Amino acid sequence: MRPIRLLLLLAASVLFFASAAGAKSLLEKSIYWVNPQTGKMDSTKYWKIYIGKYPAITLVRKFPGEDSLPVNSDINLTVMSSGYIEGYGYTRKGRVDCMAVFVVDTGTGAIKLPVDSIEYMFAGGAKVKPRGIKVCDAAIDVEGNKVSGVKEMQLTKYKLVIDVDERNLKPMGDFDIDFFSFSKTGLAAAQKAQKGTASAAPAPAEKSDK
C-alpha cells in the first residue's frame, strides 16, 4: 500500500472513531426544527449542534511540571443533546477541552441559562426564549470569557442502533438551521418569531450602476 494512501486511511479511521466516541456520550432529548431540504418539521432524540469557532479564548490550565497558567486558543463549541456545551481547541502544548454555558441578560443582570431551560432559539441562535422569561439576546460564557451569541447552527441528527449489547448512534445528516425548539408547540412559536425577525430585517441595498 502506498504511504499516502495509508496516511489517508489512518486519518479517516481516527475521525471515525473520534466521531463514534463523541456520539456515544449523547443522551436522549427530543429536538424539533424545520428541515431545510423538505420545508417540513423534523425531529430526533439524539443530536448535537455546532455553534461556531470563537477566537482568542483565554483558559487557565495546569500542565505536568508547571504551575497553572493562562493559554489562548480558538475554541469550537457544540451543544450536545446530553444538556451541555462542550468546547475544544489547540495550543502550543496540545489540545485543551473546556465547558461553556449560555448567558442571557434579563434586565436585572446576566444569568446562566442551562440548555434544559431553553424553550426555543431563533434568528440563527442570536435570540433565545427561556422558560418563564421573555425573549433575550443569547451570549456564551466560556470559563469566564463572555463571547457574543451563536455564530452558526449546524445540527447533526443521529439514529440509535442497537446490535446485541452494543449501543451505537449513526449520523443521519447535517442541517444548517435558523431556529429550533424542544417541543412541537415551541417550534411553532420559534417559526413565528423567526418570520418576524426576517420581516423586520432591512431590505438589501440596491446595487449602483456606477
For the chain, the residue count is: 210
> pTM for the complete prediction?
0.83
C-alpha to C-alpha distance for 154 and 51, rounded to whole angstroms: 7
pLDDT at 198 over 90: no
Dihedral-angle region of residue 24 (phi above 0 means left; psi in -120 to 50 means alpha; beta otherwise): alpha
Q: What is the pLDDT of residues 151-189, one digit of tens each?
A: 999 999 999 998 877 889 999 999 999 999 999 999 999
All structural domains of the chain with their residue ranges: 28-198
Q: What is the pLDDT of residues 12-42, one digit of tens each?
A: 333 333 344 455 679 999 999 999 989 999 9
